Structure 1
Amino acid sequence: MDALMAAFVAAALAQVGDRTAWLAAILSDRYGKPALVIAMAALALLAASGLAAALGTVIGPKLAPNAQQLMLALALLLQGGGAFFPAKTPDRLDRWRIGAVATAVLGLFILAFGDGVQFIVLTLAARTPVPALAAVGATIGSLVVIVPAALMGEAAWLKLPLKPLRIAIGVVFVLFGLVLALGALRLV
């Protein structure tokens, strides 16, 4: 259960002001079908997180517990560091002519798979006996942010104070990453 809750919280925080939620808002406006975009986002996020968790199950047994903790610390530090930079506008996928379902699921999968959340999922899955919980937690946590973004649409989403939220969340990630790293190195 630790992996479920940790992935849920990490993904929910990481998605605030991130490109995945922004793309969901764009696609929701474009197709006028927020429920469809949300369903495809859930599918895309579960697939991306599932792949990350599967890789974590392969890597995890090869690492000592301190190395697993250090890897998680690195994932949190990278996610936190990235939050200090403004999110680039995601590709609007205007030239994609494959329909609403395929555009939403493929576009969101590609964006989510390259996201820092997947590194966090991988590291959490490497540390737990039930790695699928990390994937499920990250999917649900991401949807906590993506659902409102899709329902609000791009204009309303961008009116939110995303920049200060990203910076505050980045500080939280960096602090937790530093504490975990110092603990893994036995410096605290």
Structure 2
Amino acid sequence: MEALVPAFIAALVMQVGDRATWLTALLADRYGRPVRVALAATLAHAAGNALAAAAGGWIGPMLTPNAKSLFLALSLIFGGAVLLWRVAPPDRLEGWKLGAFLTPLLGIFILALGDPTQSFTLALAARSYPWFAFAGAALGSMTVAFAAAMLGELAWRKLPLRWVRIALGSIGMIGGAILALSAVRLL
């Protein structure tokens, strides 16, 4: 259970203002079906996080406790750095003619593959209980996807996401640095 809540919070934090979330809002506006687009986005994120959780469950037994802590710390540091980076607009997928479900499902899956949420899911799954890490990340991703789809692109982009990302990125990097120093026994 110790992986469920951190994975949920990480998914909420890492996807604030993320390109995949922006694409979810954009596609919800284009198709006029926010619930269908949000469900597709949720499934896309869930598939990526399931892969990350399975990989974490596989490599976890091979790592020492300090290595697991260092892996989690590096995930926090890199995730925080990504939050500090400026978000480029996503490809609008205007050439994709797959409909209101398959376009967001495939587009968001491809865009989100390897994102910081999945990195954090991988690191948490390596520590303990991979499927709780998956469930938390999937629920957090679903929450953000539904919020973005219901708001739409214009309202989503009006949110003060830049400052939120800067604050959360700084906290993530500081927390990751403290955890890393603890993992290598310097703190």
- Report the TM-score range of the alignment, normalised by the length of the smaller protein: over 0.9
TM-score, length basis structure 2: 0.97
- Cα distance between partner residues in 2 of 1:75 and 1:61: 18
Aligned to 2:79: 79
Q: Is 1:181 equivalent to 2:183 in the alignment? A: no
The structure 1 segments of at least 4 consecutive aligned residues displaced by more than 3 Å after TM superposition are none
Aligned to 2:41: 41
Equivalenced residues, count: 187
Cα contact 2:42–2:145 (8 A) shared by 1: no
Aligned to 1:167: 166
**CA positional deviation for 1:178:** 0.8
- Cα distance between partner residues in 2 of 1:20 and 1:38: 11
Which stretches in structure 1 are left out of the alignment for 5+ residues? none
The share of aligned pairs that are identical, in percent, is 50
Cα contact 2:45–2:138 (8 A) shared by 1: yes
- Cα distance between partner residues in 2 of 1:44 and 1:133: 18
RMSD of equivalent CA atoms = 0.9
| Matched letter for residue 136 of structure 1 | A
- Cα distance between partner residues in 2 of 1:82 and 1:104: 23
| Matched letter for residue 40 of structure 2 | M
**CA positional deviation for 1:114:** 2.6
Aligned to 2:132: 133
* Deviation string, structure 1 residues 140-188 (Cα, Å, up to 9, x no partner): 1122222111101101110010110100010111011011101101111
- Cα distance between partner residues in 1 of 2:60 and 2:31: 41
Secondary structure of the residue aligned to 2:3 is: helix
Q: Within 5 Å, give how 1:75-114 maps onto structure 2.
A: 75-114=75-114
Q: Within 5 Å, give how 1:109-128 maps onto structure 2.
A: 109-128=109-128
* Deviation string, structure 1 residues 98-125 (Cα, Å, up to 9, x no partner): 2221111111111222311111100100
**CA positional deviation for 1:58:** 1.2
Aligned to 2:29: 29
| Matched letter for residue 185 of structure 2 | R
Aligned to 1:9: 9
Q: Which moved more, 1:144-153 or 1:163-172?
A: 144-153
* Deviation string, structure 1 residues 57-87 (Cα, Å, up to 9, x no partner): 1111111110011011001100101111111
**CA positional deviation for 1:131:** 0.6
**CA positional deviation for 1:31:** 0.4
Aligned to 1:152: 151
Cα contact 1:12–1:143 (8 A) shared by 2: no
Aligned to 1:66: 66
Secondary structure of the residue aligned to 1:114 is: coil
**CA positional deviation for 1:138:** 0.6
Which stretches in structure 2 are left out of the alignment for 5+ residues? none
| Matched letter for residue 178 of structure 1 | A
- Cα distance between partner residues in 2 of 1:46 and 1:165: 24
